[in-house]
Structure 1
Amino acid sequence: MKKLLLFFLVALFVASCSHPSDNRLIRNSNQLFYIEVENPTNTAITGVHEISLTTDQKSTLTNATGMLFAKINDELSPLELSDNNADGIKNVAVFQSTIPAESSVIVSIFEASDDAIIDFEKKTQAELWHRTTGNWRDGRYRGGGNFFRFDSLRVPDGFTDHTYFIKYEGPGWESDRVGYRMYLDWRNANDVFGKKVTDMVLQDVGVDGFESYHHMDDWGMDVLKVGRSLGIGSIGWFDGEKAIRVETTDSVMCKIEADGFIRSQVKLWYYGWQTGDTKNNLISLKTIDADSRMTREFLKFEIPQENVCTGFIIENGIDMFEMRGKNGEWRAIASWGQQSLASDNMGLAVLYPSSQNGKVKRDALNHLVVFEKPLKEVEYYFLAAWEQEPGGITTLLEFKEYLQKTLNQLEVNLAFATISDIKN
């Protein structure tokens, strides 16, 4: 027997993504191995969970040809392989379940037979669409017809805003709670799609141009004004007076790293990011999980980078407040009020580990967290909570309660899992 760490990436107030198990499916599928997952805390942990993989386990799962799924008690969940540290290696397996307080559960890992049909609900999505048949002239993309979906893109040199080349101007990612997009040009800022439905909707957003999603539709709308700010959770560098987004680079690559039932990811490579008098290479990995409002941002620099910052836009009349987890290991800056483009309530927040020694600051446009010391890796989460989402948060008190539970759960981020020998 061997002890491994199980990391819990938390989604609060969730509905289960799993399905009651079908005994016929279990009998006709191949069990690869099982794990015993222990939750030693006094609260149940619900959400998408990560299991670190040994070399043998990773090989077994990577070589599987059928769909992977997990059986937890009498429920089935998708099982997906994922990279959680931006090194390009799928080093963890993720599944969704509830681990009761002060107890353990057996998680059996299966490979479905070739003829098995498993109707899991898709609760996350990541996408990137652009036109293909036009041409560049005077810095604009002319013609090009319809948008087509791609897994990756090297951003064309000189690419700028409103060129009508990329659908809604960059990659998008969503859960059943909320959607996000980022501008894949000199702005490199994150925006928010407020959702009134739990269905995946981004595939239909922006196909008719850049204006339609700024107006309310059955699915929702763009609800955040970004302008020259960091929007929500965008990557920046603090020059001592203001946050500078990833504006000047040698080149940029974007890839849809995962488009799964319960986890989706967008990965970016920024080559030669100019910060003051120096340049650095940066990898950004954005992750969203089922039933979660949060995007996890993981940054990996080629050389340690000082004064990395993030934050969100300052809205007139909206106060920023700070919160901390029960043990002070995670902190947050947040705001709440009538700050959506639908003229209703929305909460914005950035959550970050105390170990990165973030300093709370502000400039003319943004509430900021600045990581002053040189860091080779930076981790934080950002989120938006719009009151019109299904079962949405509608008051400041509810938003603070949600943030407190989220911070507390991030601090309870590991338990021991006992892994059996791989079964043939």
Structure 2
Amino acid sequence: MRYYIFKFSIFTIFICLLASCGNDNTAESSSESLFDVIASNSSQDTVTQFGFEVDLVRIEQEFDLMHGDRKIPVQIGDRNNNGTPDKMFAMVDVPAGRLIRMAAFNSSGNADPATALVGVNAVKDGEKLELLSAYTADGQWDGDGIILDNEWIGFRYLMQPPFAFDIIGKRQESLLTSDQIAGLDNRSAWGGDALAEGQSLGIGSPALFDQADIIPLSSFDTKEITVIETGPLRAEVEIVTRGIPIRGEKIDVMIKWQLEGGKHWTGLEVSILSKTDLNLQIAFGLPKHKDATDFTQGLISNTHFAYTYGLQDANGEQLGMAILVPGRYEVDTYREDPHNYFYLVNPQQQKVQYRVMASWGKGRKMVIDEVDFINVIKEYCAQYGATVQIKSDFHLN
């Protein structure tokens, strides 16, 4: 069995940051702008720092994205790896029932470099690896893997069985450094490991369900990891697992894993790449620690949620974990054993999107009890369920 990690050569430009977006409806569109963007929120809940993507059309020069007289932080990427920017990512506040108009102009040339809000690290045997290198996973990973973190929280994808996600609680705002990553599990200040429960499949870790059994993505032919974006506003990793054996077939699955700056959750999109007649659902759930609340679920603001809250078995600290699923998906539940509870979701167009969040008792979020954690869940359900639309208009002449 062979495992691989690859890194695309990314051409990334970071342009003009340093200002939050106001909540007025000032129109910025003009004949001098390169393109305009409108973010509209038809829901009853304000969405703070809504992250959105725009496909760039024939934009090769540096630009400032403006809302009134404020420059909006943007992250530009070259997904096609041809030396031409083709994606823009930005974050804006969009008040309930309002719209925000933005416009891009030729750069004034005096913008400072972006402050990194997210970090990406590859860690093997307690040591940080160079992201540009390609290497083969082996038995020396020792619980390490790919780590994404921001000012609030970190998530780690383990590159050995069970090939699952776990949590890195944070007590400091700064991004993880090489020294902090070394021996991470032994540092109480960075604890919060959800996989301390030995039989856990990890927080929000995807699996497949064939109407009879949960099938973890831990038996396969190859596993390819690609770091797509490294910040400064958003990090993205793509995990492709090929050759998962299910009922005599080999199934390929892709996970798109994102973390945005300033957010307490990480986003996942799981796709079944193979054509199959098997009736497969995508499964993901939460590990239950012995003294924690049972798998509790509900629906708020057209968002399914499930959570567990209580003492970790390993450290004896309070840990809240939750998964959020858009209401457009049909969800079932499944209990595999005392350790693992799952949502079973019927994919739409072969994919499912969801979010995973956590709050560690010693972490920066300062959630002190279960009621407080439920209030955080309600807030994030409202944000996730809000209807925000993005429209762009390029002035190609």
TM-score, normalised to structure 1's length?
0.75
Q: Deviations over 1:131-157 (max 9, x none)?
A: 8xxxxxxxxxxxxx964312464544x
SS of equivalent to 1:400: helix
Matches within 5 A, 1:68-107: 69-81=64-76, 93-107=88-102
1:213 alignment counterpart: 185
2:97 aligned with 1:122 = no
User: Offset at 1:289?
Assistant: 0.9
CA contact (8 A) 1:44 1:100 kept: yes
In the aligned structure 1, how far is the partner of 2:246 from the partner of 2:167? 26
1:279 alignment counterpart: 250
Q: Which is worse superposed, 176-185 or 364-373?
A: 364-373
Q: What percentage of aligned pairs have identical amino acids?
A: 15
Structure 2: 5+ residue stretches without partners: 1-16, 22-31
Counterpart among 149, 156, 176 of residue 201 in structure 1: 176
User: Offset at 1:202?
Assistant: 4.9
1:336 alignment counterpart: 309
User: Offset at 1:336?
Assistant: 1.2
2:381 alignment counterpart: 407
2:290 alignment counterpart: 316
Structure 1: 5+ residue stretches without partners: 1-16, 22-29, 132-144
In the aligned structure 1, how far is the partner of 2:213 from the partner of 2:288? 13
CA contact (8 A) 1:320 1:367 kept: yes
Matches within 5 A, 1:224-243: 224=194, 225-238=196-209, 242-243=213-214
In the aligned structure 2, how far is the partner of 1:382 from the partner of 1:257? 20
User: Offset at 1:261?
Assistant: 1.7
In the aligned structure 2, how far is the partner of 1:388 from the partner of 1:122? 24
In the aligned structure 2, how far is the partner of 1:374 from the partner of 1:105? 30
CA contact (8 A) 1:177 1:291 kept: yes
User: Offset at 1:35?
Assistant: 2.2
In the aligned structure 1, how far is the partner of 2:333 from the partner of 2:85? 34
Counterpart among 314, 325, 328 of residue 352 in structure 1: 325
Change (3 A) 1:322 1:288: same
In the aligned structure 2, how far is the partner of 1:354 from the partner of 1:124? 28
1:141 alignment counterpart: none
In the aligned structure 2, how far is the partner of 1:340 from the partner of 1:76? 47
CA contact (8 A) 2:45 2:95 kept: yes
2:228 alignment counterpart: 257
In the aligned structure 1, how far is the partner of 2:354 from the partner of 2:86? 20
In the aligned structure 2, how far is the partner of 1:121 from the partner of 1:340? 37
1:180 alignment counterpart: 155
1:33 alignment counterpart: 35
In the aligned structure 1, how far is the partner of 2:289 from the partner of 2:78? 35
CA contact (8 A) 1:299 1:379 kept: yes
The one-letter amino acid paired with 2:333 is: V
User: Offset at 1:351?
Assistant: 1.3
Q: Deviations over 1:374-409 (max 9, x none)?
A: 861121211111233224222212211221222222
- The count of residues paired between Structure 1 and Structure 2 equals 361
